[in-house]
């Protein structure tokens, strides 16, 4: 096998995701799973439950993950990469612990993990590492031999993640009336998180205020704006804004909210906008409700023409990027060098989260990082 196609030491890939309800009866237990011990106000939970009920109690995230699994298996097969792909979630079936048990039973010993979260943050990185540690502890208690688990690096700036989004922005711009198209603002949007979580995201000393979370998003936004300019010759004004704020009102979270931003654009005489959900790997409920429903209604009320550009989802370029990430990490684990693709100014992210990266409110064991209690 050529070095470029050798997944060793890995014998499997695990797609690790959030999970979502698949019908009305799932919504409340799902929300209980998500918010256990997180201090979310009851009112907020009722409201978010309504978002799911509006769509029949079904989150799009599970079908998105099934499509991504298909795309990964197809890509691996076409590339001659013999690596089985599994899927497990934090908050809904198939649950991570069950999937890991199945992987162990199938004889998998060294597992590469891809999370459906592209950026650094407690919610998008360490929390998944805590979930891995919890699952390993549960399986160890069952007397099972534990596999090694390695989380693949953050891929926010991988061309296979960014290029489909550039294409999506161009497609959305093309849908706008030519009379306003060139003056359209780009509103890059991502999940709001508490300011305190943003400030401590990533290796803290490397990043300023807002931490790695904000910096990584700004970097992706700049890459997309530059690529759009290359293609259209237009320098679209842009801003990074936030959505899906949760938590208690007195705790500061990243702002401005997309809806307030649309209002401000309209007030300033901006004639159109494209909402670009760079923070989301696929069409999650946050995209369907907070952008396509709520923010789109807000724009209609204002009389501001808006479009929402596509998320990456199961794009074949993203599947190919995942293959590259696996092979790149595999080469490194074997002690050889590998090409590490990254656009923008930040360069490829670390493989192993350093100690103290994206700290939790209460310290808990986290696997697949420098502070992992597991091998």
Ligand X SMILES: CC1=C(CCC(=O)O)c2cc3nc(cc4[nH]c(cc5[nH]c(cc1n2)c(C)c5CCC(=O)O)c(CCC(=O)O)c4C)C(CCC(=O)O)=C3C
Residues in binding site for Fe(2+): 191, 286
Does the protein bind ligand X through residue 246 (CB under 6 A)? yes
**Could you say which of 148, 153, 191, 261 contacts ligand X (CB under 6 A)?**
191
Does the protein bind ligand X through residue 18 (CB under 6 A)? yes
Q: Which is nearer to ligand X, 86 or 122 (CB)?
A: 122
**Could you say which of 48, 220, 306, 358 contacts ligand X (CB under 6 A)?**
48
Does the protein bind ligand X through residue 211 (CB under 6 A)? no
Q: Which is nearer to ligand X, 118 or 327 (CB)?
A: 118
**Could you say which of 28, 40, 79, 170 contacts ligand X (CB under 6 A)?**
40
Site for ligand X in 280-309 (CB under 6 A): 284-286
Q: Measure the CA–CA gap between 19 and 7, rounded to whole angstroms.
A: 27
Q: Which is nearer to ligand X, 147 or 279 (CB)?
A: 279
Min dist. Cβ of residue 272 to ligand X (A):
27
Point out the annotated binding site for Fe-coproporphyrin III. 59, 128
Min dist. Cβ of residue 254 to ligand X (A):
10
Number of neighbours of residue 215 by Cβ within 10 angstroms: 21
Does the protein bind ligand X through residue 193 (CB under 6 A)? yes
Q: Which is nearer to ligand X, 8 or 93 (CB)?
A: 93
Kindly report each contact of residues 21-28 with a partner whose C-beta sits within 8 Å and lies 24 or more positions away, as own/partner: 21/52, 21/57, 21/58, 21/59, 21/92, 22/57, 22/58, 22/59, 22/62, 22/92, 23/56, 23/57, 23/58, 24/53, 24/56, 24/57, 25/57, 26/57, 26/92, 27/52, 27/53, 27/57
Taken in order 148, 154, 158, 164, the sign of the CA dihedral is: positive
Does the protein bind ligand X through residue 12 (CB under 6 A)? no
Does the protein bind ligand X through residue 44 (CB under 6 A)? yes
Query: Is the Cβ–Cβ distance between 256 and 272 less than 8 Å?
Result: no
Does the protein bind ligand X through residue 149 (CB under 6 A)? no
**Could you say which of 20, 88, 203, 211 contacts ligand X (CB under 6 A)?**
20
Q: Which is nearer to ligand X, 37 or 145 (CB)?
A: 37
Interacting residues of 74 by C-beta distance below 8 A, sequence separation 6+:
316, 319
Burial 222-254 (b: 16+ CB within 10 A, else e): bbbbebbeeeeeeebebbbbbbbbbbeeeeebb
**Could you say which of 121, 189, 200, 243 contacts ligand X (CB under 6 A)?**
121
Instruction: Give how many residues touch ligand X by CB under 6 A.
Output: 26
Does the protein bind ligand X through residue 35 (CB under 6 A)? yes
Min dist. Cβ of residue 69 to ligand X (A):
16
Question: The tokens of 330 are what?
Answer: 């595999």
Question: The tokens of 289 are what?
Answer: 């409700």
Residue 77 burial by Cβ neighbours in a 10 Å radius (0-12, 13-18, 19+): exposed
Q: Measure the CA–CA gap between 219 and 205, rounded to whole angstroms.
A: 18
Min dist. Cβ of residue 216 to ligand X (A):
12
**Could you say which of 61, 241, 320, 357 contacts ligand X (CB under 6 A)?**
61
Min dist. Cβ of residue 74 to ligand X (A):
23
* Binding segment toward ligand X, per CB under 6 A, in 56-64, 153-161, 181-189, 334-342: 56-64
Residue nearest to ligand X (CB): 246
Min dist. Cβ of residue 48 to ligand X (A):
4
Q: Is 37 left (phi over 0), alpha (psi -120 to 50) or beta?
A: left
Name the site residues for ligand X (rule: CB under 6 A). Answer: 18, 20, 31, 34-35, 38, 40, 44, 48, 59-61, 116-117, 121, 123-124, 191, 193, 244, 246-247, 279, 284-286
């Amino acid at each position: 096998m050529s070095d470029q196609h050798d997944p060793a030491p890995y014998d499997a890939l695990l797609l690790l995701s959030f999970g979502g309800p698949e019908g009305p009866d799932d919504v409340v237990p799902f929300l209980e799973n998500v918010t256990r011990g997180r201090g979310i106000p009851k009112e907020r939970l009722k409201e978010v439950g309504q978002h799911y009920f509006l769509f029949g109690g079904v989150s799009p995230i599970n079908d998105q993950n099934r499509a991504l699994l298909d795309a990964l298996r197809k890509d691996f097969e076409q590339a001659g990469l013999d690596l089985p792909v599994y899927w497990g979630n934090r908050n809904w079936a198939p649950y991570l612990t069950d999937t890991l048990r199945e992987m162990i039973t199938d004889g998998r010993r060294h597992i590469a993990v891809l999370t459906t979260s592209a950026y650094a943050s407690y919610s998008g990185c360490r929390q998944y590492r805590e979930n891995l540690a919890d699952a390993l502890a549960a399986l160890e208690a069952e007397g099972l031999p534990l596999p090694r688990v390695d989380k693949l690096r953050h891929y926010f700036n991988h061309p296979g993640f960014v290029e489909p989004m550039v294409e999506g922005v161009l497609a959305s711009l093309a849908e706008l009336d030519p009379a306003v198209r060139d003056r359209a603002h780009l509103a890059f949007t991502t999940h709001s998180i508490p300011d305190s979580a943003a400030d401590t995201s990533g290796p803290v000393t490397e990043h300023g205020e807002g931490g790695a979370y904000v910096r990584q998003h700004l970097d992706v936004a700049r890459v997309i704006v530059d690529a759009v300019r290359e293609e259209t010759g237009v320098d679209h004004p842009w801003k990074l804004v936030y959505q899906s704020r949760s938590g208690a009102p007195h705790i500061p979270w990243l702002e401005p909210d997309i809806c307030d931003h649309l209002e401000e654009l309209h007030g300033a005489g901006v004639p159109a906008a494209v909402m670009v959900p760079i923070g989301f790997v696929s069409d999650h409920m946050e995209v369907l409700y907070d952008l396509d429903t709520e923010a789109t209604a807000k724009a209609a009320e204002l009389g501001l023409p808006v479009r929402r550009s596509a998320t990456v989802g199961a794009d074949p370029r993203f599947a190919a990027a995942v293959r590259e990430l696996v092979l790149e990490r595999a080469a490194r684990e074997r002690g050889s060098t590998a090409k590490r693709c990254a656009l923008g100014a930040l360069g490829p992210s670390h493989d192993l989260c350093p100690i103290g990266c994206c700290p939790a409110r209460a310290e808990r064991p986290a696997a697949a990082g420098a502070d992992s209690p597991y091998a």
